[in-house]
Structure 1
Amino acid sequence: MYLLFLLLTGLAALLYNSLIREQSIDYEALIQQNLVDVQKIERILGIKPLYVIDTSNGRYYAAVDKASGYQSQVETLSIADKEGRLASVLITKQNETPIFFRRLYERGFFDGFKGLSVKEPIYFAGAPGYSGYLGNTPTDNYIDAVSGSTISTHAVTEAVNKGSFTISRMYFSAAWINPYDQPEINGNTMAVILVFLLALLGAFVKRLSRLRLGFLVVSIALLGFTANQFVTLPMLYSVSQLQIPWVTNIKWYVLLVGSLALILFTGKNIYCGWICPFGALQEVLNKLAGFGPLTVSPPLLATLRLAGPTLLWLAIMLGTGLNNYGTLDYQPFGAMFLFRGSWVLWLILPVLLMMSLFYKRFYCQFFCPVGFLYNLLTRWRNKGVKACQKMKLIWRKGITRVN
């Protein structure tokens, strides 16, 4: 009954925020605030907001577009002058983790767009492995990444590029290929694919299961410290809001769609058991420590197992109240593998690692929201399969009796 209460109220809060709460943006007011002596603003008919602005200093163009960030859609308003140079880039909507997105303002990231041309792609420099990387392309039309907020800066740059493409095509007759439409085939992508393939082999080939500890070390090294890829609660939330990145983000699809597909087709939560780098790290530490398991009384164990869904519910309610679901980013992955996180996560991380020495996968067992949701989906899937098989058997028996 307690879990049912959490489920119903949590879903109600998410639906309220998505369907009822007004989130409209007055784009014309933003344009007036950021341009001097605006005389006329004309909205151009189309699916996406596009404006032609007349001022005492000449004509400007503004386009609104969005791209998928770390945990939300990042929407930008890009304003270009009559020469086809960006005059301003404004964030109109975003629900990213505050501690990471704040870096963009602190480092003056948005000022770097000023003067860039909309007549050619705006590349994303300083972040190998992301589409739009400068590479060997001879151009000055690029923006530098912000260390520690790479995914958010990538999303902003992609959204600005989309808006620039619209302005360029409509008013400057300049056609170019959007670099963000190119698939991301790189070392990080291959690392994610490799870990998934190894996990599949280990889970279904009994002889390889003896090498489990080695597989877990590979996951820690490749998925954790190299690719920095893991399924997070904000990622699942973005899917619930239909905020899905373009198919060029291969890592995202392999990681999330792959982990859910494994549950659907195998009836096993392979991601948590074989792939998740933080779960692997806890298990390896527990194995190396060699301590005997802690004895926990059944009533206390039952109470501890409610901690995960309770924390998830609190994060949803707090995010709904604040209208910012950055509260969902309370998992320790960023602090462990990216060496960045809030002070609360830095306090909690040592405790979780220490407890994993005595209790196998301590965080996974009691606090991980992704593990809780994946285990729940696995149980529902297996119960559904059993129910279908039972109905199929009953139907066959009924046909036999009629015959």
Structure 2
Amino acid sequence: MHTDGPRTRTNRLEGRKGPRVKKMSSESMIEKKKPACSHHSSRKRERVLAVGTMLLIMAAWAVGFTLEHADTEPYLYQAMPGADRIEKTPQGSYAAYGTDQLIGYISVGEGNGYGGPMNVAVATDLDGKITGLAVIRHRETPEWFKRVQESDYFSCFIGKKFSDPFVLGDDIDGISGATYTSRAVARASLEGSRFVAENNLDLPVPARKPAQVAFGPPEGVLLLLFALGFLGRRKSFRHKKKVRWLSMLTGMIILGFMYTNPLTLSLVNKMLLGFWPDWHTHLYWYVLLGGILFCLVSSGKNPYCEWFCPFGAAQECLGTIGGAKAHAVPRYKFVLMWLQRGLALAAILIAMVYRNPGISSYEIFGTLFDLKGSILQFFLLGLVVLASLFVRRPWCRYLCPIKPIESLIRFLRKWVKSNGSAKIQFP
């Protein structure tokens, strides 16, 4: 009896524990199945949304392309106000008459601005001198183009001939902060005057100089920062924190305050619309977009945003002063994420429909680095600056339109890789 007692109790305890172990294992199996099912449905939903987003952008592009139309005639009279009658010539230019006497010709030249192609009506007299200009169509950010309009920039072309160089900083003074727009007007004016001189006035037009690659400090610094960002993300890289701060400060000072060349939604819209500029004069943008796409596709990482985005660096500097932290807001995480995605998608769709990359841009980079913008932009900048003292990178986390685009590229990359691996595993 004495020896059987403990053995009986042990058997009873083992009997009690047995079903419990089985019950816990079955429950754990059920719990494991639920997340797998939930993850599968979530992944399927994300794929549907990704495809739907791309189809929506394509539809908006098609609508914008169909509706695009500009009546050229009013701009011709604006360029040549002394004309009573304007007729199109067989060469493709326009002949302007005053009291039934030929007074000059008008040609439409094209230059590539910050937002895309710019068409300018260029009026010339019978000696080949420019007498007037009128912008027919442009894709510049309204605020930036207004800056050019309010200046006397257009007047510096009056009296110039097709044989002049039309080079910014040489015989033409550009507009500070609107270099690409200034360069586009100059290019369009030169093209228009050369066309009339060669095709209508039979004047000897000098051969064009071969295009030169515009490689300067911004392009060199950008390549260096990409190299640092790409190598610095490796686990074996030493002094990562110090090098990252050096990279951020360099990007903020040189790419931000000195040249004001951050990555913007306008640039993405420009490429989606097919407004690919000449790489000789826009090498910086090709390096910037090409570098980001290469890093995202090859490694799934984007060194630009974390390592040398000028506006992101400015927020981190403010956060260091105020002791900002990455505050988690799980209750509103879903709402904030879709608000950010919704704003970015709406801005892209508007740009596609109106075929103007910068018309819907809501970024405040230029407001900070050039200290120019609307009252609303300065108000938003003030809120972001204040929030950056307490929250780590609030603009990047909750408002930046580049983040949803980056997430979409990452998702598509992962989707393609998963399909590829599935085909290999299950032929």
TM range (shorter): 0.7 to 0.9
What is the distance in 2 between the residues matched to 1:145 and 1:291?
A: 40
Structure 1: gaps (5+ residues):
126-133, 135-141, 396-403
1:243–1:305 CA distance, 2 compared to 1 (3 A): same
CA contact (8 A) 1:119 1:168 kept: no
Tell me whether 1:289 sits opposite 2:322 in the alignment.
yes
How far off its partner does 1:237 sit? 0.8
Using the alignment, how far apart are the partners of 1:50 and 1:277 within structure 2? 45
Q: Mapping of 1:311-322 within 5 angstroms?
A: 311-316=343-348
Identity, in percent, stands at: 25
Going from structure 1 to structure 2, the CA distance change for 1:259 and 1:6 (only over 3 Å counts) comes to closer
Are 1:150 and 2:179 counterparts? yes
5 Å matches for 1:3-402?
Answer: 9=56, 11-18=58-65, 20-27=66-73, 30-32=75-77, 34-38=80-84, 41-45=87-91, 49-53=92-96, 55=98, 56=100, 58-125=102-169, 134=170, 142-170=171-199, 171-178=202-209, 181-204=211-234, 206-211=237-242, 212-248=244-280, 249-296=282-329, 298-316=330-348, 326-395=358-427
Deviation for aligned residue 1:347: 0.5
Q: Is the 8 A contact 1:262 1:268 kept in 2?
A: yes
Cα 1:295–1:382 shift into 2, 3 Å: closer
CA 1:50–1:257 in 2, change beyond 3 Å: closer, same or farther?
Answer: farther
Counterpart for residue 139 of structure 1: none
In the other structure, the counterpart of 1:138 is none
CA contact under 8 A between 1:101 and 1:152: conserved in structure 2?
yes
The higher-RCO structure (CA 8 Å, 6+ apart) is 2
Alpha-carbon deviation of 1:323? Answer: 7.3
In 2, the alpha carbon distance for the partners of 1:254 and 1:323 equals 24
CA contact (8 A) 1:6 1:309 kept: no
Q: Which runs of no fewer than 5 residues in structure 2 stay unpaired?
A: 1-44
Indicate the SS of the match to 1:306.
Answer: helix
